[in-house]
Amino acid sequence: MRVLLIAHTHIERDIPGYVSHAVASTEPWVFETHADELVEQGGRLCYLSWNRPNPATATNKGYVANIIEKGHFSVLEHASATFYIDGVTRNFTHELIRHRHLSFSEVSQRYVDAGAFEFVEHPGLAPVSDPVRYWMQEAVENAFDAYGTLVDDLNEQGYLRKEARQAARHVLPGGTETKILVTGNLRAWRDVLRKRLELDANGEPLADLEFYQVAREILIELKRIAPNAFQDFEVPA
């Protein structure tokens, strides 16, 4: 599994005719990241409050903490992050795309030869004993063989590659590898991570383990580009 942060919010400086709060203020401003800065910019614009008399909200961390506490979440929507994720399964992306505020581009199993993809083992299969593991691998190989045979058969009968692949893919395992590009604003990511990193009473993930592991990687990156917008999130061990 690979979770790569490939794009995130960048603030343009020195735009003619535009004065940001950082410039408008006479006091120095300190921002660690553009994403967190943009969140504060959105919040302060609402009230044209560029002065910072209250020490609790005078820092970006304090200001964003107050935004989160008050539930003024819309200002978190200005900053966004895009991840390229591969080495994950179709089962995982089936769950990921349920999150309606994220945006997706995923490899097509209709236009791309899925026979070239790997089988990605679910983390929960790690303890499977050797004889059973052998049997599982054989079952997976049989499924991929069946896919190839079905595509060839339909191609020989004159069906287009797209027509053959869209039908044949039905025999592929849910653990077939996929690649996906996913973009979300910070509010949307916060919502997804709350749901997919939640633990049960025994401290076990409530979400599917593969999703939980991806969510953990995403959180690590988001805390890097927006530490204050994710200050109330702990990266699980």
Ligand X SMILES: Cc1cc2nc3c(=O)[nH]c(=O)nc-3n(C[C@H](O)[C@H](O)[C@H](O)COP(=O)(O)OP(=O)(O)OC[C@H]3O[C@@H](n4cnc5c(N)ncnc54)[C@H](O)[C@@H]3O)c2cc1C
Q: Which is nearer to ligand X, 61 or 72 (CB)?
A: 72
In single-letter form, the type of residue at position 23 comes to V
Q: Which is nearer to ligand X, 151 or 182 (CB)?
A: 182
Question: Residue 189 has which token pair?
Answer: 């990511």
Beta strands in the chain (DSSP E): 2-8, 80-89, 103-106, 177-185
Q: Which is nearer to ligand X, 44 or 196 (CB)?
A: 196
Q: Strands across the sheet with 103-106, in order?
A: 2-8, 80-89, 177-185, 103-106
Provide, rounded to whole angstroms, the least separation between the CB of residue 192 and ligand X.
6
Q: Which is nearer to ligand X, 37 or 208 (CB)?
A: 208
- Residues 106 and 86: their CA atoms lie apart, in Å, by 10
Q: Which residue is nearest to ligand X (CB)?
A: 100
In single-letter form, the type of residue at position 72 comes to H
Provide, rounded to whole angstroms, the least separation between the CB of residue 32 and ligand X.
27
Q: Which is nearer to ligand X, 57 or 213 (CB)?
A: 213
> What 3-state class would DSSP assign to 218?
helix
The site for ligand X (CB under 6 A) is made up of 98-101, 191, 195-196, 206-207
CA 78 to chain centre: 17
> What 3-state class would DSSP assign to 192?
helix
User: Does 196 qualify as catalytic in the annotation?
Assistant: yes
Provide, rounded to whole angstroms, the least separation between the CB of residue 140 and ligand X.
24
- Residues 228 and 76: their CA atoms lie apart, in Å, by 11
> Which of 44, 187, 190, 196 is flagged as catalytic?
196
Q: Are 171 and 115 in contact (CB under 8 A)?
A: no
Mind telling me the catalytic residues? 196
